[in-house]
Structure 1
């Protein structure tokens, strides 16, 4: 019977009517407990629902070409499409931001390892630091060059030091370069002569690039308490050492001076840190060259060819005949030794032979003291009249003309005595001086003015060519006849030059800037990405730098440095950079570090002042995604050489433990943070993160804006607390009263205070090294899987900054006895499960194509929460091999499988029928790739 048709008996109809009437009081009675609880919690105790939290997103704004800087104010509205109720989702900037034409051109990094190495990454955002493409499944890179397991190790940075000096111009011959460095901080045990010699290799600037490498022999290296002296030999077959050409050397050394570069050799990178403690106080360079044959020769009758035998004083040499030997290389330096080597052709090689040759000559007395010439020349120290030099060869036919006396001063003492005698005033003294000069071959007392760049040899001995004809005829007519031998005509078959010169010592620790203006020696640091002339900063151009001596090696005191090269900026410009990190990629066991920011100004790093120059850092030292905003100081320069010129360079540095910083997914300029603005929108919008690419337009776009993009998902949003959540929170609050006493207290306090955490497991009496550690407590936290910015969805991690906040939050609510050393907050220890099997495909399904589908199905089966945020990621559980076999064989592409093996990815040889977590903090997850082969 139907009660609505009126066919019921009266008594039944009355009963049903009374029951329907009782629905209202019954509903009120059933809801009494809830209303009583709400009254108690909300009215009596004052608990109120927590409001919804708007989600935030980072946007990138691109201006049109040539547009001037634009301020994005908080009144701008941006659309993210429509919600479930077809209302516009609107976002607005959290704070004003200035957008300009800034572009990130280069990202490079260095890392100073504990083993002493300095590693470098010229292209930091690459797989190997050298430009290799990042894998699509793991596109993150570490800002300070740390490598993940399996990644290629970074190379050692090409660092060292260099010196530039004119004395290094060495064109030919056998060349020896000696350097002396005054060093502070030498440890005799660590910095031995052999160690320093073996750490470096030497290159020299050449016409076609670097010459070398050359090594330092241990025998040519010596170390004292405060100095290091060493030398290197350059063979004659090596090219000329010439002025530096930055384009050819591929380093920005200044043109105009030759360079000697000492760089850590391959395999000696571990010496960077020990050598960084040395400081240079002064430098000295000495060069020694011999066998220089590319000389310019001129005589009284024109140019002479040094490659052929020539007559230096002409075919009939007479007193006053001159030979000019040009060598700008040698005579442009401050010489300590200079000599000419002449190989005579057909010359008398002894005084007796010369006497016999000129027997019966009436003027033979003038040859009693041999054949000599007056030499004069000028170098960087001025004019140098040497006095008489003997031209008669040694028995081997060669003569070495020493043009700098052995007394330590240029010129002979005898020559100085002649001048003093002539200036004494008496007629007898002047006659005596003239007599001595003529006997020794000196020409006159006229002041010397040597030709620049040339050694002038003036013949002072009469070789009697003028008297030979007349005296020879007279001798033949005499009774008895007295024949005369033909006089000697000097003829040179080979000529070469040898010299020793020096520059310095130049002090590098003087307080006066004059010591570096036009210094004979310029000192450079050879850094990982460029070069920098040092000791200029003492002149007051870098007031933020400390005074003192110059470090031997380029300064890299920080454990990690990220260098960001930016175009389109100048001093005084604002900059807003978005750093998107891979959530949870920082090492949770590392100690949190503070990132310092600086800008390159005049080849030195100038720290940015927080507040006025570093106006915002929402990344919390690169531990989470955020924006870094700076205003470039007036000292900012772009003509630097330490890093490529033409760019503004920012540096982020950590003093230690670079693993405490998250890996990066990207660094983007012109970033703006926006927040959701509720206009009666559907509440479901905040239930999940706004996908990347949702915000692309403004309601009223500025005319100069070209494009707006949202590269990453939104973050931070939360729904309004519902009644059940309020009741649960209030009940939990009444239970733990804001104090962490029991395991449940720890877990629920963290879950309530940190919405980004989805699961918490408290393990008492557990430490990082032991599961039986009384007095210790471990909290294992799992992130909210709705946040999809994690780089590894199979192993989601809470970032280090959140771990630090959780630790501080709990320590403020724990009883006595628990402190920072006994509380450990960490991510789960994930155990990757991997299967290895052979498969036979159903007919019509190609293994090459469907293999990836099988792998993807296994990923979803073993880690369902990675693909569906509603599926929880729980601790515990187990994986059965038999269940996985059934699962794979149930796939529509698979006929059957064989040789099925189940193991952990860390131990693939260990086949097991069942896997379970081996530790309280472990979670079983799927390996990214399973070993699937086709059965043939």
Structure 2
């Protein structure tokens, strides 16, 4: 009834009839000398030869005897009623299935496509109605192939420019970030899609690459703006030790790492004189240079910067204006006090960096070396009348900004004194004024004495000393430097830190504005469903200059079922949505999805395999099982997109459904639609199926008649699963020793005796387990060697059967329980055989036989055991193997013989073997002994 083959009522052939006729006539006498068989089968003719003549009647010689020709003609005539009789089973089944039950072949199922629509420049928004027809050409019979839009779509010019994600790692205490799409930098997703939050190694320009999120601070310091100021040292004081911090400074589009050292609660970073800090291009809203401090650990607490001090060594940005009006860098001016300075002659010091340091304490050290200065100025001026120079220290400078207010320029002998200034800078002030003291260098006295002729040979008059710089060292420091700290975020910055306890996906959009509707279409496959509130949608807003993420759940419509399937969604961008904030890159509006809370996805093991194991052995067995992929496979995301369904699938040629409709086939509407500029079909079609054939229809109906949609026995369960779950290739039932009945029997309570009215109870500790094996190429686990279905899919299968079975059935549907089996073997080969190549070939033979799913083949039905003989039989099939000398399974040193014996046959009732072979290790292949 359920066989796909037609039932043959009379399957006897012409030869069979001739042989039966010969046997029958052999028992009937013709005369006293012979029987009737000798009348019909004479002249060398046999049933075989006569049957052959009839099959090739056109080439027969025409010498057949009349009785033989009569016999063949009669049997040929009987072919017609035999054929008619053989049609009876099919006609009866057709009558019963279609006439009585009224069942028909399944009609063709319409396929779907995803279309992305673009309005023209005259339309900022365009309403595309449901049912709009799009053309995909014609089928092989010339019938138009049209698709009807599944839902109305409000389109605009919005486009997606960014897809980014974050994934916290509690093991390493870090957060991993990845930019999957960035139109501005040319980063695009991998061809064929990507698993959300999976590692991305990059390696080439334009490929996504993982980065560890930096945890730290941005310090905006305007005082760093001055260029060419010399080597700078930043001393940053924290409220606790900043161990592990690194620092870098912004230089336009680049970040320059800085050499750092930590001592106690301070961090010192050095900026070489060649660096010219600028505002960072990465953070478009900042206009001053930035010091970025970071570490890669996501600590709960982060030391805060409490003070900043800048020290400039060999400052080249300090300029001087002399009393003569000469201006220039201090290092390039010879005469600070001008030529022939008088008492009180001033010079001023200034720097552009000081203009940005209002309220900060400036400490400047000027260390001059004076050219040609006499070592003893008192002696130099000794012949001057009424000599006012009593020593080197009488030449002083005065300034309100000097630490000591008045300081001698010169020390004893050749030593020169440093000038140390300290001042709290005010808004707009960037100069220090210095005046020569009350005693000048006696130029006026020299001229007067010279004119009066009071110069004698025994009292020569030395010319006045003009203080001229031979060299000068200028250094200054700014204490209490003004800075603005911001917490460093993965893609921006804010006044406070943000903790990331769950994965996040960020979506950036441009060419739209608040109030417009954003229509999205997701192509996504999720192995493990998210809980009903497992996804949280937010948008980036800004009110009164304060940026924050706000919930979007009320404004969002989503028919993907929380990323459970492909589908569209739409949201009206709220009025306070912002595209210029510090939290994310500017120039686009941002949405983000967070939380990603999964339903149960724990791997379950068969009860019968674990009930006798210790907790340690159970953990070992559990460790062999593959982990389920927890996050969706992402094929793509499109704006202004919607699905469309094939129109009138019954009239389309079957060839249309043989392969998915290629991407790009649909490119226009059937009738021009005003305002619609372009139609794209980014993905191949899906879901189509041709009308069911008669043979497939009869097979399906026969199976339905057998089980009637009920799981009454093991055979029904298998057929229901295979028929309704196309991703299942095979269903493995329990072994005979645990296959003790489908349903749990009713047992009356002990107190009720044998009363017929006693309520039955269930034996809840008895569970019937079955294993489902996925189709080749389907794997929702993380190990390609161990394909599995997700726990959610297993629960769906289990619920499907439970809904059609007796409530007494306590069924569990499981993935294969994978057993890692270490196989070692020795084989004897000839001397000419390359042992390394043979090793690889033998391992591949074992994999193909016991693990065929690795090569995309359908999995063979597992046996009840794996034995050493099974391995030997495969090895011996190789032509270069003379014989197998040894095979061990899970052989472990120092085990007892009893322990080793249990590995001679490994039970695999609800398990699948995953062979561990010595492909990457050298295994000696012994040579056979020479025979004489």
| Partner of residue 465, structure 1 | 443
Which residue is equivalent to 1:167? 223
Give the aligned partner of residue 322 of structure 1.
Answer: 346
* Matching residue of 2:840: none
Which residue of the partner structure matches residue 580 of structure 1? 523
Structure 2 Cα separation of the partners of residues 450 and 101 of structure 1: 49
- Report whether the alignment pairs 1:341 with 2:366: yes
Asked if 1:596 corresponds to 2:614, the answer is no
Cα shift at 1:748: 6.2
Tell me how far 1:234 sits from its aligned partner.
1.8
Q: Indicate conservation of the 8 Å contact 1:583/1:799, yes or no.
A: no
Contact map agreement 1:94 1:673 (CA 8 A) in 2: yes
Q: Report the counterpart of residue 142 of structure 1 in structure 2.
A: 195
Structure 1 counterpart of 2:131, from 71, 75, 88: 75
Separation (CA, whole Å) in 2 of partners of 1:678 and 1:75: 13
Indicate the larger mover: 356-365 or 65-74: 356-365
- 1:715-726 equivalent positions in 2, closer than 5 A: 715=687, 725=700
State the alpha-carbon separation in 2 of the partners of residues 451 and 862 from structure 1. 80
Q: Secondary structure at the match of 1:467?
A: helix
Q: Name the structure 2 match of 1:302.
A: 325
Kept in 2, the 8 Å contact 1:687–1:719? The answer is no
Q: Which moved more, 1:624-633 or 1:469-478?
A: 469-478
Describe the SS at the equivalent of 1:122: strand
Match of 1:523 in 2: 485
**Within the alignment, does 1:393 sit opposite 2:410 as a pair?**
yes
- For 1:660, what is the secondary structure of its paired residue? coil
The answer to whether the aligner puts 1:616 opposite 2:577 as a matched pair is: no
Question: How far apart, CA to CA, are the structure 2 residues paired with 1:79 and 1:793?
Answer: 40
For residue 63 of structure 1, the aligned residue among 118, 137, 143 is 118
**1:234 aligned onto 2:270:** yes
Deviation at 1:736, TM superposition (A): 4.3
CA RMSD of aligned residues (A): 6.5
TM-score normalised per structure 2: 0.62
Secondary structure of the equivalent of 2:257?
A: strand
Q: Could you report, residue by residue, the CA deviation over 1:803-830 in whole angstroms, capped at 9, with x for unpaired residues?
A: 45446667888999999xx956547869
- Could you list the runs of 5+ residues in structure 2 that have no partner in the other structure? 1-16, 18-73, 599-627, 740-763, 824-843, 891-903, 921-932
Q: Structure 1 638/749 Cα, relative in aligned 2: closer, same or farther at 3 Å?
A: same
| Shift in Å, 1:791 | 13
Would you say the 8 A contact 1:373–1:390 is kept in 2?
A: yes
CA–CA distance in 1 between the matches of 2:89 and 2:235?
102
Distance 1:124 1:827 in 2: 37
- Indicate the SS of the match to 1:109: strand
Aligned pairs for 1:505-904 (under 5 A) are 520-528=482-490, 530-532=491-493, 534-535=494-495, 550-551=496-497, 555=498, 557-581=500-524, 594-601=534-541, 606-607=549-550, 609-613=552-556, 615-618=557-560, 620-639=561-580, 643-655=584-596, 659-678=629-648, 680-681=650-651, 690-693=660-663, 696=666, 700-703=670-673, 704-709=676-681, 711-715=683-687, 725=700, 728-729=703-704, 732=707, 736=711, 757=728, 759-761=730-732, 780-782=771-773, 798=789, 802-803=793-794, 805-806=796-797, 825-826=814-815
Aligned mates of 1:860, 1:85 — CA distance in 2: 45
2:149 is the counterpart of 1:93: yes
> Counterparts of 1:833 and 1:688 in 2: how far apart (Å)?
43
User: What secondary structure does 2:444 align onto?
Assistant: helix
Alignment of 1:477-516 (within 5 A): 487-503=464-480
Q: 1:611 to 1:756 in 2, by over 3 A?
A: farther
Matched residues in 2 for 1:662 and 1:323: separation?
Answer: 72
Give 3-state SS (helix, strand or coil) of 2:279's partner. coil
Partner of 1:427: none
> How far 1:260 sits from its partner (Å)?
1.0
Deviations 1:207-235 (A, max 9, x none): 89444332233xx242xxxxxxx221426
Query: Superposition pairs for residues 422-441 of structure 1, below 5 Å?
Result: none
Q: In 2 relative to 1, CA 522–372 (structure 1 residues): closer, same or farther, beyond 3 Å? A: same
Task: List per-residue Cα deviations over 1:294-350 (Å, max 9, x = no partner).
Answer: 432221223156445722223322233111222222464234242342425279899
Secondary structure at the counterpart of residue 456 of structure 1: strand
Look up the SS of the partner of 2:417 in the other structure.
strand
After superposition, residues 250-261 of structure 1 pair within 5 angstroms as 251-254=282-285, 256-261=287-292
CA pair 591-361 structure 1, distance change in 2 beyond 3 A: farther
TM (norm. structure 1) is 0.61
Counterpart-to-counterpart distance in 2, 1:792 and 1:525: 39
Whose relative contact order is higher, 1 or 2, with alpha carbons under 8 Å and at least 6 apart? 1
1:289 to 312, 320, 329: 312
Match of 2:335, SS state, is: coil
**Whole-angstrom CA distance in 2 between matches of 1:830 and 1:692:** 41
Which residue of the other structure, out of 243, 249, 254, is the alignment partner of 1:197? 243
In the alignment, the residues of structure 2 paired with residue 322 and residue 263 of structure 1 have an alpha-carbon distance, to the nearest angstrom, of 47
Relative to 1, partners in 2 of residues 1:806 and 1:638: Cα closer, same or farther, differing over 3 Å?
farther
Q: 1:571 to 1:209 in 2, by over 3 A?
A: same
Distance 1:762 1:628, change over 3 A: farther
Q: Residues of 1 paired with 2:685 and 2:849: CA distance?
A: 22
Q: Equivalents in 1 of 2:555, 2:253: separation in Å? A: 48
- Secondary structure, counterpart of 1:490 in structure 2: coil
Provide closer, same or farther for how the CA distance between residues 607 and 31 of structure 1 changes in structure 2, counting only shifts above 3 A: farther
- Kindly tell me the number of residue pairs found equivalent between the two proteins: 746
Cα 1:208–1:113 change in 2 (3 A) is closer
CA distance 1:653–1:477, shift in 2 (3 Å): closer
Instruction: Look up the SS of the partner of 2:258 in the other structure.
Output: strand
SS at match of 2:575: coil
Paired residue for 1:113? 169
Deviation for aligned residue 1:732: 3.9
Closer, same or farther: CA 214–827 of 1 in aligned 2, 3 Å: farther
CA distance in 2 between counterparts of 1:243 and 1:698 reads: 51
Return closer, same or farther for 1:714/1:583 CA change in 2, 3 Å cut-off: farther
How far apart, CA to CA, are the structure 2 residues paired with 1:792 and 1:34? 50
Aligned to 2:420: 402
| Residue 922 to residue 38, structure 1, CA distance change in 2 (3 Å) | farther
Q: 1:243 aligns with which of 258, 274, 278?
A: 278
**Alignment partner of 2:314: what SS?**
strand
Partner Cα separation in structure 2 for residue 654 and residue 622 of structure 1: 13
Verify the 8 A CA contact 1:141 1:664 in the aligned structure 2: yes
- Gap change, CA 1:670 and 1:678, over 3 Å in 2: same
1:793/1:52 Cα in 2 relative to 1: closer, same or farther (>3 Å)?
Answer: farther
Gaps of 5+ in 1: 2-12, 183-191, 223-229, 378-384, 411-448, 505-519, 536-549, 767-772, 835-854, 889-895, 908-914, 932-936
Name the residue aligned to 1:845.
none
Of 367, 374, 381, 2:398 maps to 374
In the alignment, is the contact (CA less than 8 A) between 1:624 and 1:799 conserved in 2?
Answer: no
- Cα pair 2:108 2:650 within 8 Å, conserved: no
- Tell me how far 1:67 sits from its aligned partner: 6.3
Alpha-carbon contact 1:172-1:240 (below 8 Å) kept? no
Contact 2:138 2:145 in 1 (8 A): yes
2:260 counterpart of 1:215 = yes
Whether the aligned pair in 1 keeps the contact of 2:514 and 2:574 (CA below 8 Å) is: yes
| Residues 503-552 of structure 1, C-alpha deviations (whole Å, 9 max, x = no match) | 46xxxxxxxxxxxxxxx423345555x433x22xxxxxxxxxxxxxx12x
Deviation of residue 760 (structure 1)?
4.1
Measured at CA, do residues 64 and 74 of structure 1 come closer, stay the same or move farther in structure 2, by a change above 3 Å? closer
- Report which of the two structures shows the higher radius of gyration computed on alpha carbons: 2
Q: Distance in 1 between matches of 2:168 and 2:467?
A: 66
State the alpha-carbon separation in 1 of the partners of residues 539 and 427 from structure 2.
53
CA deviations over 1:25-61 (Å, ceiling 9, x no partner): x97999699969998xx79xxxx99986945523123
Structure 1, residues 729-776: CA drift from partner, whole Å, max 9, x if none? 576468548xxxx7667656656765665644465999xxxxxx9766
